[in-house]
Structure 1
Amino acid sequence: MGSLRVIFSNIRYFSITWLFASVNLMVGTWVLYIPHIKERLALNDAQIGIALFCLSLGVLLFIPIVPWFSKHVGLGKTSFFAVILFSAAYILPFFVSSFILLCSALFVVGIFLGITDVTMNALVSVTEKRDVSHFMSAAHGFFSLGGAVGAIIGSLLMPFFTNPMYHMACMALLIIVTNLVLQKYYFKVTEDSHHEEQSSFPFKLLKPLFVVAFLTFVIMGSEGSIEHWSTLYLVEVLEVAKDNQIGLGFILFSTCMTIGRFFGDAVSEKLGSLKIIFWGIFIAVFAFVAILSRQFYISLFGFALLGIGLSVIIPELFRIAGNTKNISSSRGISFVSGLGFLGFLLGPVGLGFISKQFSLWASFLFLLCMVTVALIIAFFKMRKA
């Protein structure tokens, strides 16, 4: 919890971590209304998967240009403008009247989500190196906290909003105003350029990040799938009927992930990145087994356990990427997060098609298989270290 004290005692650190919370406050609110969107537009699971694919496609296509924005516009400036546009764009899906327009709206959301994700992680990496500090995991804790708060408050407020668009608009306004106040503490941050690679695309320098990128692919695919399909899992597999209960899986997942990430920096300093990644995936395997039990309380326990297991993995993978020798933080993180968001892209759409052909339960079984493969790879990576 030492990293939390650092964040709350330094407004500069808090302003950066608030970017993480801002992103998932919007996502945490959005996921509550996926069943509403599905019903209003009369979509099936495969179409929902394609729509989420478009969101991730927007992320994936624009991530490669983030290092250019970071270098020529400024890391802090890019972060600020991206999170503002991201928040405003998330209102668009509630205006649309067709499946095609929904895909287009989510693609626009994905563009600004990808830019925000890379730059806010690069901000942490740059600040950690300059200040010799350690708060990457806690920053991701604020991301999870944002999702949990968005889902909890959203579940409580849903009965009071006759139009979901007004709910999203209120959340967007909150994000925009708070970041307008806090942006002055990170707006002028730039990256050091003296260590940047000379070639335009240094494949040799990126080679050490291939295994890291694959693990990010699997874990982000799992996180994205839980975010976007957990509510439907409770409705279709566990047959939860009450609207204020369909978000319980995501709430428990996000809450436990938040707690795990707030302790993650201290654990990382003691165990090291590779060990904490391995044990996190190990816990995630058992969590998916519990989720697949079809028993309401055991499945909810599985969502909570999954939050704990996955909590520290992505922060550690991004920390490794941001500290790779001879590569800028934004370059390393954009490469790893690019493949990570490819998993985020394929995860939801893959689950949609598996669900249509077999069942949503079978989709979550597929996630268990992928995480098991990641566990084996992490084990051999740890043995070589």
Structure 2
Amino acid sequence: MSDSPAETVTQPAEVSTSLRRARAATFTLFGICGLLVGMWVVHIPAITDQTRIDHATLGTLLLMLGVGAIGGMQLSVPLANRIGSGRTAIISGLVLSITAVGPGLATRAWQLGLALVVFGLSVGALNVSVNALAVEVERRYRRPIMSAFHALYSVGGAAGALLGALTLAAGWAPVTALAAAGGISVVAVTTVSRWVVSDPAGRPEESEGPAKPPEPGRRSRGRLSTRVLLLGGIAFALMLSEGVANDWSALQVKENLGASDAVAALAFGAFSVMMTVGRFTADRVSGAFGPVAVIRYGMLIAATGLLLILASGQLTLTIVGWALFGLGLSGAVPQIYTAAGNLGSDSANVNLSRVVTFGHVGFLSGPAIMGWISQVIPLTAAMAIPLLCVLVVAACAGAVQSTPAPAQQNHSALS
């Protein structure tokens, strides 16, 4: 398919105050999700000491968190179809804010496991519902804004990590810090709850201006269509690659170049910073050149970064490689979620939840796969796995191209 934007055109609607508030509410929910997950992550060492568990037990408990998240993704779908993605996102955000304190209360392994399952359920439910909400807000804006929502998740995660570091330095117990973050989140979610867009029957309301129509002939009524499988496979490959960077970037630099822990941490820092920067700019790129170009050329940038990581024996070039990898990946997942959410209005939540689930499985399995492979070949050589993933995604980028409605095929592209 062409790299140019879809021929379906719609002139951007005038943005009302209510729609701006709906976008702000969705930004807030993404940020809250990132904040609470970030707070949990930085408290893992302290909670590990508090519960007196070893690394093997921690690994099993973290898997329970992932299983809980997948369960929450599936549970959120019937609720969103019944009361709307906006209300579901608000409920999930409140539940997440409350359950975030659970891991801080645990003093035994079984208590932490139970707390993580419940925490994971609420994370998964919010993940799907807030992405469905973002698809609806983007549809009403009638221009690409999805990547900015994901950027706010990254900002929230960074804020959670910073806040957690400060509370740890101040000697706060994990339960106190997590409770404080949860309280802040409850207030924030409650404040913006009146602003979210409402679709009580799980269908979009009238948008401000002609809405971007669901793709004709794509109403799958919940069936696992070939298109959903393809988008899910792309999400799996993308999130697998992101998971590899999150868990293995610093170790790759340390083992391959003999760097100190502090210097090796620059690899993940470069990746995450460029991921955030890229997400703040990807919407403009998508609006100008289309989602296919964002993915195809983004994957080529990511592949260039991975080639530098594989071939370079110099620290500076390797750090540049991780930065390029983050920049290339940054805008891709939001394009996949937008495409999944617009496959058909009668099954949008189902389609999106399936694609998000595929991506989450990739995110969880990627680091494990790399761990197994690195037992056989050097860790740096194992980076060929995410390289293969991004090249396959580049070849499949046309999957996000929407099908223009017959009456609109002669219009100009989105501005």
Pick the TM interval, shorter chain.
0.7 to 0.9
Following superposition, the deviation at residue 183 of structure 1 comes to: 1.0
Map residues 61-210 of structure 1 onto 2, 5 A cutoff: 61-186=71-196, 188-190=198-200, 191-192=202-203, 201-203=222-224, 206-210=225-229
Aligned partners of 2:35 and 2:156 also within 8 Å: yes
**1:370 match:** 386
Following superposition, the deviation at residue 274 of structure 1 comes to: 1.9
Moved more, 165-174 or 154-163: 154-163
* CA separation of 1:197 and 1:373: change in aligned 2, threshold 3 A: closer
- 1:43 is aligned, of 54, 79, 90, to 54
Q: Distance in 2 between matches of 1:265 and 1:117?
A: 20
Q: What are the Cα deviations for residues 14-47 of structure 1, in whole angstroms up to 9, with x where unaligned?
A: 1111111111112223222334445553423x54
Aligned partners of 2:271 and 2:325 also within 8 Å: yes
- 2:38 is aligned, of 20, 24, 28, to 28
**1:215 match:** 234
**1:267 is aligned to 2:277:** no
Q: Distance in 2 between matches of 1:384 and 1:141?
A: 20
Q: Distance in 2 between matches of 1:241 and 1:290?
A: 21
Map residues 212-361 of structure 1 onto 2, 5 A cutoff: 212-227=231-246, 240=260, 249-288=267-306, 300-325=319-344, 327-351=346-370, 357=375
Q: Distance in 2 between matches of 1:157 and 1:358?
A: 41
Q: What are the Cα deviations for residues 289-332 of structure 1, in whole angstroms up to 9, with x where unaligned?
A: 55676866555444433321211011011111111146533122
> Residue 10 of structure 1: SS of its match in structure 2?
helix
Aligned partners of 1:76 and 1:187 also within 8 Å: yes
Following superposition, the deviation at residue 253 of structure 1 comes to: 3.2
Q: Which runs of 5+ in 2 are unaligned?
A: 1-11, 206-213, 402-415
Moved more, 169-178 or 284-293: 284-293
Aligned partners of 1:31 and 1:228 also within 8 Å: no
TM-score, structure 1 length as denominator?
0.82
Let me know the Cα RMSD of the aligned residues: 3.6
Q: Which runs of 5+ in 1 are unaligned?
A: none
Aligned partners of 1:324 and 1:332 also within 8 Å: yes
Q: Aligned letter for 1:55?
A: L
Q: Aligned letter for 2:328?
A: G
**1:13 match:** 23
Q: Aligned letter for 1:345?
A: L
Following superposition, the deviation at residue 285 of structure 1 comes to: 3.1
Aligned partners of 1:49 and 1:349 also within 8 Å: no
* CA separation of 1:246 and 1:104: change in aligned 2, threshold 3 A: farther
Q: What are the Cα deviations for residues 144-195 of structure 1, in whole angstroms up to 9, with x where unaligned?
A: 1112222344344431134233222222222111111111101744432798
Q: State the aligned residue count.
A: 373
Q: Distance in 2 between matches of 1:274 and 1:49?
A: 37
TM-score, structure 2 length as denominator?
0.76
Q: Aligned letter for 2:274?
A: C
Moved more, 277-286 or 6-15: 6-15
Q: Distance in 1 between matches of 2:253 and 2:44?
A: 13
Q: Distance in 2 between matches of 1:236 and 1:154?
A: 28
Q: Distance in 2 between matches of 1:162 and 1:295?
A: 40
Q: Aligned letter for 1:140?
A: H
Moved more, 121-130 or 301-310: 301-310
Structure with bigger gyration radius: 2
* CA separation of 1:230 and 1:131: change in aligned 2, threshold 3 A: same
Moved more, 192-201 or 137-146: 192-201
Aligned partners of 2:222 and 2:347 also within 8 Å: no
Q: Distance in 2 between matches of 1:166 and 1:37?
A: 12
* CA separation of 1:166 and 1:224: change in aligned 2, threshold 3 A: farther
Q: Distance in 1 between matches of 2:161 and 2:308?
A: 22
* Identity rate, percent: 28
Q: Aligned letter for 1:87?
A: S
